[in-house]
Structure 1
Amino acid sequence: MTNMLFGRILVATDGSEKNRAALDEGINIAHACGSVIYAVYVIDTGTFSSMSGDIPLGDTYRVFQAEAEQAFTRIKSLAGDVKVETLILEGHPAAEIVKFAKAKKIDLIVIGTQGKKGLERLLLGSVAEEIIRSAPCKVLVVK
């Protein structure tokens, strides 16, 4: 018999090693509760507006998509028999994660305290804080 305390878990990933603890925790909870994991990678379109005009946007976008696919492959390999659905979102990370959580009636959002640094940043402490304030459900922040 499974415990459906958290039937739908959103795990936000940015593909970084710093995000690994959050992935592991989300997967562990999903195993214990018999949950579905929604792995979400947000392409922060705000980074495009601050980029040099010398960098083709299409190339940058493809890099983000490839990174998301790598992160999703990793999550699926770690998840074992847990059902994982993946989705790439675009926009402001916190807003997109919260909007997705509302639309999918997510029971728990699992996020890391910080992600990448510099131009490629996707999940930062400020994003985690914004998600905590705006989320329609429980949020687990993993260090």
Structure 2
Amino acid sequence: MYDDVLIPTDGSDDTRRSIEHGLALAAQFDATVHTVAVVPEGPLGTLEDESAVSAAQRAAEYVAFEAKKRDVDVVTAVEQGVPHEIILKYTDEQGIDAIVMGTQGRTGLDRVLVGSVTERVVRMAETPVVTVRLTDEIRIDDEAEAERLAREALADRGDDGETPVADDLHQISGTWLVPFETDTGTLRARVDGVTGAVALESVE
């Protein structure tokens, strides 16, 4: 029924549940997940912000990481333009069978039913669109708290409590990514913003 499932993402907390739902749908039907992160254009077609490019890349990489954990095939894309237009174009070009989206995101104010980008996609897409509202409360919303939990996990495995943090500590889809520079290379802690659970992984 579904061979290709699209999960648009901007890395905001609101995408957490849509990513989980989209990956579960893809796993059930042995489908390929596509994820597209859009760098919005500002006035005169310029980038909204240079940092938006790296943020979009991180958002797409997060979905890819979660897909691989579940043995789901994944295709990632980072595009520049008007978000709903890019999502609709990608859907048509890639033959997407279903789109899974959160009801809010970077676009700001919530509309009556769904966020403005999702609203446009629902209204204009010929492909089925599944909308998912964020229901989990993000408890770890502070960078210092995320680092504290990550350091506790490091200490539990015997690492030095003074291990320096790399410069790019950031949050993607409700998960904090805290990289540490250790004697054996870069180690990244993934701190779940809802549960506070920490997973450690080596970064190649």
Same fold, TM-score > 0.5, yes or no: yes
TM-score by length of 2: 0.57
Residue 110 and residue 58 in structure 1: after superposition, are their counterparts in 2 closer, same or farther (change >3 A)? closer
Q: Secondary structure at the match of 1:106?
A: coil
The structural deviation recorded for 1:89 is 1.4
Q: Give the conservation status (yes or no) of the 8 Å contact 1:38–1:84.
A: yes
**CA–CA distance in structure 2, aligned partners of residues 90 and 99 of structure 1:** 12
Pick aligned residue for 1:71 from 59, 84, 87: 59
Equivalences for 1:1-143 in 2 at 5 Å?
5-45=1-41, 48-49=42-43, 60-61=49-50, 63-79=51-67, 80=69, 81-116=71-106, 125-143=115-133
The structural deviation recorded for 1:117 is 5.6
CA RMSD in angstroms comes to 1.9
**CA–CA distance in structure 1, aligned partners of residues 106 and 49 of structure 2:** 16
Relative to its length, the structure with more helix (as a share) is: 1
Residue 130 and residue 59 in structure 1: after superposition, are their counterparts in 2 closer, same or farther (change >3 A)? closer
Q: Which runs of 4+ in 1 moved over 3 A?
A: none
The structural deviation recorded for 1:67 is 0.9
Query: Aligned pair count?
Result: 125
The structural deviation recorded for 1:58 is 7.0
TM-score by length of 1: 0.80
**Counterpart residue number, 2:155:** none
Superimposed CA distance per residue, residues 59-98 of structure 1 (whole angstroms, 9 cap, x where no aligned partner): 923x112112221222122112101111011111111101
Q: Secondary structure at the match of 2:5?
A: strand
The structural deviation recorded for 1:99 is 0.9
Q: Give the conservation status (yes or no) of the 8 Å contact 1:15–1:71.
A: yes
**CA–CA distance in structure 2, aligned partners of residues 59 and 43 of structure 1:** 7
Gaps of 5+ in 2: 109-113, 134-204
Residue 103 and residue 117 in structure 1: after superposition, are their counterparts in 2 closer, same or farther (change >3 A)? closer
**CA–CA distance in structure 2, aligned partners of residues 43 and 103 of structure 1:** 19
Percent identity, aligned pairs only, is 30
Residue 105 and residue 59 in structure 1: after superposition, are their counterparts in 2 closer, same or farther (change >3 A)? closer
Gaps of 5+ in 1: 51-56, 119-123
